[in-house]
Structure 1
Amino acid sequence: MPYTLAVVVPTPAHSNISGPLSYQSELPLAAGTLVRVPLGRREVLGIVWDEEAGAVQTGPEVVTKPIAGALDGIAPLVAGWRQLVTFAARYYQRGLGEVALAALPPQLRDLDGTQLARRLKRVTAADSPGTLSAPLPPNAEQAAALDAISASAAPFLLFGATGSGKTEVYLQGVQRMLQKDPRAQALVMVPEINLTPQLQERFVTRFGAGAVVAMNSGMTPAQRLKSWLAAHSGQARIVLGTRMAVFASMPRLGLIVVDEEHDPSYKQQEGARYSARDLAVYRGMIDGAAVVLGSATPSLESWHAADKGRYTRLSMAARASDAQDAAPPGFPAVRMVDMNLQPKRTVFSPQLLDAIAQRVSRGEQSLVFLNRRGYAPVLACSACDWKSDCPNCSAYRVFHKIDRTLRCHHCGFAERVPRACPSCGNVDIAPIGRGTEQIEEHLGELLRGVRQPGGEPARIARMDADTTRLKGALEEQLARVHAGDVDVLVGTQMVTKGHDFRRITLVAAVNPDSALFSSDFRAPERLFALLLQAAGRAGRDAVHAAASEMWVQTWHPGHPLFTSLRRHDYPGFAAQQLKEREQAGMPPFAFQALLRAEARTQEIAQAFLHAAKAQAETLPDAAAVAIYSAVPMGVQRVANVERAQMLVECATRAPLQRFLAAWQPVLHSLREKGLIRWAVDVDPLVI
C-alpha cells in the first residue's frame, strides 16, 4: 500500500500554492528527506515535510503522483531546520517551497544519483579537523564575555568598540564549545563577502582547514554544494558565511555569531525579504544554541531589546571619558572641520591636507572615506538644463572618467560621454559633485610634492566596487595596504568594515552631511555607525594609537550626531535616537510592512495598491493597523519599470502578522493589466 507524503516543492512567487503537495511513495520516508518529484512537465527537487503542515489536494478526481525517488546518501534535514524555514515563510509572507528550496545549494537540484555519490565521496575524503592552536590570553572584558556565553544560551549583544577584540571572543567562544562537545557546530556570519576570506584565514589558523567551510553567493555552485554537504553531514565544525548561511543545514548547532549585526546587508532585498540577524536569534532559540550579536554600533532594535532584557548586553568598550568633547583613551581623536569657514569649492581643507601630508612623510597611512563611487554623480550642461539622466530610470547616470562612460548604477545602462550636450550642442559639459575617482585624482595633484621617508612620492590607491570588480582584485589591493605599499587609501564604505589596517593613523570623512537631513528616519543611525566604524580603522596598532585621528569635514559641526561622535559615545547617541523614535512612533516602538508594486506605468502600480487598501479595510485586525497612502518609491523608475509602495504600521507585532496573513488571498486575487509583480516586505529597512 503506497504512503501519502507531504512534499515541499519550488513554487513560483505569489502562487496560490504556499504549502506542501501530496505525493505517493512505496516506502515511508522520514520528514526532511530530499526527493525528486514530478511537477507539471518537469522533475524537481522536493523535501518531505511534516504531516501537520498539511498538503494541497486538488480534488478527488486528481490522481496523486508518485515520487521519482529519494536522494540516497543524504540524511534528512532535521526538525529544527524545518521549523526555521516554516517560521521564515510565515513571518515574511512567502511560500514554504520558495523559502525551503532557495535555502538549498542550486547544484543539488540537478545532480543524478551517480554524480551525487561522487560529491559525497569527496566530502567524506576531506581533511579532518586540525589541532587547536594556542589562543591569545583574554583580557578581563573578554574573559567576562566568554564566561557568560559559555554559561547560557540566551541571545547576547556583544557591544565591543572597534579594536576591542570581538573576533578573539568569537574564536575562543567556538573553542570552548568544541572542547565541551567535539561534535558541536558553530555558525559565524559576516555582512559582506569581502570580509569572509580574512576571517576564514583566522579560523583556519586556529582550528584547521578541515573544520572550516565558507558559504556565500560569491562561490561557484560546486563550492557551495561541497560546503553545504560538509555542514549537513557534521564534518564541518564551523561555517563562515553571509546572510544566506543562516539557512545552512547544521544538525549539531551550538553557537551562532552575527558579526557587525547592525549592517543592513543582513536584510535580503529580493524574493523572501528576510532578516538573517533576526532569523539567527530565532534559530538559536530552536536549537538551544547561544547567539552572539556583535557590533561597535549595534542596531537600535538590538540595543532596545537589550534595554528591555530580551538580550543580555556584554560590554567590551574602553572606559568613557569625562571630557565633554574628547575621545576616550585609546580611541582616535575626532577633529571637526567647519566647511563654512573654508573657501568656496574647497574639497580638502588646508588643515586636513597638512595632516595627511605629515602621515605620508612619517611613513604612516591615511584613509579617505567617501561613500560615492565614480568620478561625479552627474554630468551637466552649463547652457541648458540637460543632465546625464538615465533613459531607463528616474536617476542620473554617473560619470566614470577612467573609461569615459556615463553609467547607471541602477540598471547598468552605459554609453560613452558625449563630445557636446545632446540637447543644445554646447561643448561645455562638466561634472557636478564628487566621487571616489575624482577624490583620488585630486589628492594626487595636492600631494604631488609630498615625499615618503625614503624620498619616493606619495602612493594613492582607490578601493570601491569599480576597482575590485575582477576576481582577485580585492585580495590584491588589501595585500598592498597591509604591506605598506599604499600611503593614502581612498574608498567607499567597503573599506570601513572589519579590516585590520595596522598602519593607518588618520581617517577622513570628506562629505558625510547628506544623511543628516534625509527623509529616511534610519539615516542618522547608519551615518553614525559608518563614521564610528571608519574611525575604528585608525590607531589599531598600539604604537600609533596615541597619534591617531578621525577628521570630519562638515557644514554642520554643531549637529548632535557629531557631538556624540567626538566622544565615541554610542550609548548616548542611541538613547537620543530611541527617544526620538518613541515620540514619533517609529521602530522599534512600532512594527511595519511595505506592500510594493512594479508595473508598466505609475498609475497601474498605484491602482493595485489602492485596490489592496480598499479591500483590506474589512479584514480581521484591520482596525489595529494603519495603512498609509500609496506613493512612488524613492527611485521611482528602474529599467523602465515603475515602482510604488504603501506602508502598513501597527503598535504590536501579532495583529500586524494576522492582518498580513489574511491580506495574502486578497492580494493574490487582485489583477491589474500591466502589473508586473508585487511583494510584501516585513520589517523593511528602506521606506
Structure 2
Amino acid sequence: MKLVRVALSVPLFKFFDYLYEGKQPVVGSRVIVPFGRQKLVGIVIEIPKETVITLENLKYIIESLDQESIFSEELWSLLYWSAEYYQAPLGEVLNGALPVKLRQGESAEQKTKTFWNLTALGKQALTNNLLKRAKKQFDALNSLDVLPLEKGNNPFNSGIWSALKTKGYVEEIEEKIRLISWQDRLEELPIAKEYDRLTLNQEQAMALSQLIFGQGFNVWLIDGVTGSGKTEIYLQHIEEILKKGQQVLVLVPEIGLTPQTVQRFRSRFNVEIDVLHSNLNDTQRLQVWQRAKNAESAVVIGTRSALFTPFQNLGLIILDEEHDSSFKQQDGWRYHARDLAVVYGKQLNIPIVLGSATPSLESLHNVQQGKYKSIILKKRAGNSTALRHFVIDLKQQRVHNGLSEALLDEMKEHLEKGNQVLLFLNRRGFAPVLLCHECGWIADCQYCEKPYTYHQKQRALRCHHCGSQKPIVNQCAKCGSTNLVTTGIGTEQVEATLEKFFANYLITRIDRDSTSRKGALEHHLKDIQQGKSQILIGTQMLAKGHHFPNVTLVALLNVDSALFSLDFRAEERLAQLYIQVAGRAGREEKQGKVILQTHYPEHPLLVSLLSQGYKYFAEQALGLRDKMGLPPFSAQAIFKAQSRVSTDAELVLSRIAENLYSFNVQDLQILGPLPSPFSKKAGLYRWQLLLQSPSKVKLQKVLLQLRENNISIPNKVRLILDVDPIDLS
C-alpha cells in the first residue's frame, strides 16, 4: 500500500493519510489532495507503513507539486519546534511559513521566460540594411544584436515583433532564468563601497571586534543609546559575513523602517539586496523567496515573517529594535520572531545580533542569566551631543488643543534657527470622542461598544478597533440636540492647530491615515530628510529608528493614559517609547532637547526615567517583576474565547478551567475566566483565561495534556491560545 501522510492548513491537531500512484512524494514537498468537496495544498510530513483508515476510505493525492522538499532541514526543524511550543497545528504552521503563491499550488521553481532572438536571416537583413524604410523595425532588430529581449518586457510593441517574425528575422526562444548567485557578481566588484564606511569610535570598534571574533552560535544584545551608531556596526559586521560567501537576514519591526534601511544598505554594498514586507504583492514575495533560496540575493531585509525565508547559506541574523512588540504575531499562529530567531540560530550554529536602545526586560534577564552576551554603547556616535530633558506640567499651563504655550514658545525658538521640530501623539484622527453637550451621549461603535474616532478631513466617524465607519452625525441619537462637540485630541487636530500658529512653516503628518497610499510614507520621509517640512507630527510610525539630522526639538504631547494602565507591561512600553521618541532629536552636531507634557510630573516612573535613564528603570522593573512572579520570571499562556453570545465564550473557558484544576498541578496559577479588558470587538464578546507557572517546561506539559483531553469547542465560539502573550487585552 503506497501511503503518504499530509499536514493541511486546517485548525486541527491531526494529519491525513492518502494513497499515491507512481513516484513516491518527498517529505517536505507539497501535494494537492481532495478534502471533502475541496482541493487543498498540503505538506507531506511522513511516508507511513500503515494507517488506521480502512483502504476503501482512503483517497489518492491529485498531484505532487515538488520533486524535493521546499524546506531546508533546519527550517523544517524550526517549524516543527515552533508548532509544539506555540501549541499550533503543524499544517497551519508549515503553510503559514510559505508565500501565498506556494500555498495556492504555484511552482516553487523560477519560471521560464520567452525571448525574441535574432535569426541568421535577421543578421543578414541588418548587414544589408534591408529595413532602412522601417525605422522602428530596424531599431527593434538592431537591439537584438547584443542580447535577446524578453517578450512583453521591452520598449517595442507586439506589432513590430509580429512583422519581424513574419519576415523570418526573429524567433521566439524559451529560456529558464539563469540563476547567478550574488557571489558570482562580485568577481569584478568589492563587496562594500569604501567611501560610505564611517570611522568607528572606540566603543563601536570594540563591539565590532567582539562580534567578528565570536565564533558559531551566540546571541549578542547590543544595548546602545539612540544615536550610538548601531547600524554602522551592523553594516561592518555584515561585510565580514558576506566576505565568507554567506547570506544575511535583517529583521525590522515595521515596514516604515524598511525604506531608509534598504536605501542605506544598497548605497553601501555591491550585492543583491531583497526586501520582504506586507506591502509587496504575492508574486513579488514569491520571487524574493526564490532568489534567497537560490543564493541570488545576499541580504534580505524584512518584517517578522521574513524569518521563514529559505537561504542557501545563512550566516547571520540581525533583529533591530528587538524590544518592539511588532515582532510578535497577533493572529493565527502566534509566534515571536525574536525568540524563534534565537532557536533558529542555535540550529544553524550562527550568531544572532539583537539591537535596541531600550532592550526588552526579557532580553536583559537573558543577559543576567548568561544566555545572551551584552555589548553596551554609552556614547552617541560622531559629534552628537547628549540630550537635555524637560517636563512641562500641564496643570500650570494654558493649553491650545494639546499644545501648551511653553511648548509653542520652544517650537518658535527652534524653528527660527532653521531646525526641525517633531511632535509625538499616539492617536490618529481629529478627536477620539464625539459627544452631546446637552446629555452626554457618546457616538459609539455598535460592534465594539467603544467611541468612534472623529476624522474631520474625511468627514467620517471611524472605529480604530474593528475598522467600521459611518458619516459624521449632526444630531444626538438620545436627546436630538445638534450641540455635538469633540473631546480629546488626535494628530489631525494638532496639525490644524499648528497651521494657525505657524502658518509660514510646512507641516508633515505621518500616521496610518496619511500613509495609506502606496509610496506615501517614502514621499513624506524624503520631504523631511530634504528639509522641505519643518514641523513633523506623528504616531509610533515616526518614533522608531528614523534618522532626522535636523530635528533638535522633540515633544511628547500626551502619555498620561499609559501611566495608569492595568497591563503590567504598560510602564515598560512607555519607558521604551519615551527613549525611542527622544532619540530622534540631536542626532548630528546640534544640541537636542526633549519635552514631555504631563499632568503628573511627580509620577515615580517619569521621575526615575528622566533623572536616572532607561537602565535604572529596567533594573527597578525587573526587581519588581521578580517579587511579583511575573514574566520573565514566570511563563504565561492565555486562552481567549470570542463569540456573538457572551455566555457561550465564558462556558468554553469554564470547561477548560475545570480540566486544568483536575490536573492538580502545583504552582500553576489559573486566573479566570474573566471578560477581557477590551470586552467586545467587531461584534464579538471576548473572554480570557490566564495561566501562569514559574516553569516553562511545566506549563508546556499542562497545555499538551489539555490538548490530549480534546475538549469540544462549538463552531459558534472562536478559541485562541497565545503562549508567551504580550497583549492581555
TM-score between the two structures when normalised by the length of structure 2? 0.86
Select 1:447's aligned residue among 499, 502, 515. Answer: 502
Distance (whole Å) between structure 1 residues aligned to residue 669 and residue 49 of structure 2: 34
Deviations 1:220-273 (A, max 9, x none): 000000000111222222111101111111242211101100000011110001
Amino acid at match of 1:591: A
Q: How does 1:101-500 map to 2 (within 5 A)?
A: 101-111=95-105, 117-118=111-112, 121-122=176-177, 124=179, 129=185, 131=189, 132=191, 133-134=193-194, 135-150=197-212, 151-152=214-215, 153-179=217-243, 181-182=244-245, 184-208=246-270, 211-318=272-379, 330-343=385-398, 347-448=402-503, 457-500=504-547
Match of 2:705 in 1: 662
Distance (whole Å) between structure 1 residues aligned to residue 277 and residue 178 of structure 2: 18
Distance (whole Å) between structure 1 residues aligned to residue 276 and residue 691 of structure 2: 34
Match of 1:33 in 2: 29
User: 1:262 touches 1:295 (CA, 8 Å); kept in 2?
Assistant: yes
User: 2:327 touches 2:338 (CA, 8 Å); kept in 1?
Assistant: yes
Distance (whole Å) between structure 1 residues aligned to residue 660 and residue 493 of structure 2: 50
Distance (whole Å) between structure 1 residues aligned to residue 359 and residue 46 of structure 2: 37
Select 2:20's aligned residue among 24, 31, 36. Answer: 24
Going from structure 1 to structure 2, the CA distance change for 1:237 and 1:247 (only over 3 Å counts) comes to same
Distance (whole Å) between structure 1 residues aligned to residue 298 and residue 37 of structure 2: 40
Deviations 1:407-437 (A, max 9, x none): 1111222111122212212121100111111
Distance (whole Å) between structure 2 residues aligned to residue 203 and residue 343 of structure 1: 46
Distance (whole Å) between structure 2 residues aligned to residue 55 and residue 314 of structure 1: 52
Distance (whole Å) between structure 2 residues aligned to residue 158 and residue 50 of structure 1: 41
Distance (whole Å) between structure 2 residues aligned to residue 335 and residue 462 of structure 1: 24
Distance (whole Å) between structure 2 residues aligned to residue 308 and residue 553 of structure 1: 37
Distance (whole Å) between structure 2 residues aligned to residue 605 and residue 403 of structure 1: 36
Going from structure 1 to structure 2, the CA distance change for 1:364 and 1:509 (only over 3 Å counts) comes to same
Distance (whole Å) between structure 2 residues aligned to residue 69 and residue 237 of structure 1: 34
Bigger Cα displacement from structure 2, 366-375 vs 458-467: 458-467
Going from structure 1 to structure 2, the CA distance change for 1:113 and 1:626 (only over 3 Å counts) comes to closer
Deviations 1:63-98 (A, max 9, x none): 654444444576642211111100111111111110
User: 1:3 touches 1:26 (CA, 8 Å); kept in 2?
Assistant: no
User: 1:630 touches 1:646 (CA, 8 Å); kept in 2?
Assistant: yes
User: 1:420 touches 1:428 (CA, 8 Å); kept in 2?
Assistant: yes
Instruction: Work out whether 1:541 is the aligned partner of 2:588.
Output: yes
Aligned-residue CA RMSD (Å)? 2.4
Question: SS state of the match for residue 407, structure 2?
Answer: helix
1:125 deviation in Å?
Answer: 6.4
Distance (whole Å) between structure 1 residues aligned to residue 294 and residue 59 of structure 2: 30
Question: SS state of the match for residue 403, structure 2?
Answer: coil
Question: SS state of the match for residue 314, structure 1?
Answer: strand
Match of 2:165 in 1: none
Going from structure 1 to structure 2, the CA distance change for 1:435 and 1:308 (only over 3 Å counts) comes to same
Question: SS state of the match for residue 415, structure 1?
Answer: strand
Distance (whole Å) between structure 2 residues aligned to residue 62 and residue 569 of structure 1: 70
Distance (whole Å) between structure 2 residues aligned to residue 504 and residue 177 of structure 1: 34
Question: SS state of the match for residue 669, structure 1?
Answer: coil
1:311 deviation in Å?
Answer: 0.3
Distance (whole Å) between structure 1 residues aligned to residue 700 and residue 543 of structure 2: 36
1:35 deviation in Å?
Answer: 3.6
Instruction: Work out whether 1:82 is the aligned partner of 2:81.
Output: no
Instruction: Work out whether 1:579 is the aligned partner of 2:623.
Output: yes
User: 1:216 touches 1:242 (CA, 8 Å); kept in 2?
Assistant: yes
User: 2:558 touches 2:598 (CA, 8 Å); kept in 1?
Assistant: yes
Deviations 1:280-318 (A, max 9, x none): 111101111100111000110001111111100011122
Question: SS state of the match for residue 359, structure 1?
Answer: helix
Distance (whole Å) between structure 2 residues aligned to residue 48 and residue 206 of structure 1: 42
User: 2:18 touches 2:61 (CA, 8 Å); kept in 1?
Assistant: no
Select 2:92's aligned residue among 79, 84, 98. Answer: 98
Match of 1:454 in 2: none
Question: SS state of the match for residue 229, structure 1?
Answer: helix
1:28 deviation in Å?
Answer: 4.4
Distance (whole Å) between structure 1 residues aligned to residue 717 and residue 178 of structure 2: 42
Q: Mind listing any 5+ residue stretches in structure 1 that lack a counterpart?
A: 320-327, 449-456
Distance (whole Å) between structure 2 residues aligned to residue 615 and residue 167 of structure 1: 50
Bigger Cα displacement from structure 2, 217-226 vs 242-251: 242-251
> Size of the alignment, in residue pairs?
656
Larger CA Rg, structure 1 vs 2: 2
Higher relative contact order (CA 8 A, sep 6+): 1
1:385 deviation in Å?
Answer: 2.7
TM-score between the two structures when normalised by the length of structure 1? 0.91
Deviations 1:535-571 (A, max 9, x none): 11001112x1xx2100001122222322343257221
Distance (whole Å) between structure 1 residues aligned to residue 45 and residue 21 of structure 2: 13
Match of 2:726 in 1: 685
1:29 deviation in Å?
Answer: 4.6
Deviations 1:463-484 (A, max 9, x none): 1111001111111111111110
Select 1:531's aligned residue among 555, 575, 578. Answer: 578
Question: SS state of the match for residue 645, structure 1?
Answer: strand
Distance (whole Å) between structure 2 residues aligned to residue 494 and residue 38 of structure 1: 44
Paired-residue identity, %: 37
Distance (whole Å) between structure 2 residues aligned to residue 23 and residue 164 of structure 1: 60
Distance (whole Å) between structure 1 residues aligned to residue 403 and residue 474 of structure 2: 30
Distance (whole Å) between structure 2 residues aligned to residue 155 and residue 478 of structure 1: 32
1:62 deviation in Å?
Answer: 4.6
Match of 1:453 in 2: none
Distance (whole Å) between structure 2 residues aligned to residue 287 and residue 252 of structure 1: 10
Question: SS state of the match for residue 516, structure 1?
Answer: helix
Going from structure 1 to structure 2, the CA distance change for 1:486 and 1:7 (only over 3 Å counts) comes to same
Distance (whole Å) between structure 2 residues aligned to residue 164 and residue 197 of structure 1: 21
User: 1:192 touches 1:242 (CA, 8 Å); kept in 2?
Assistant: yes
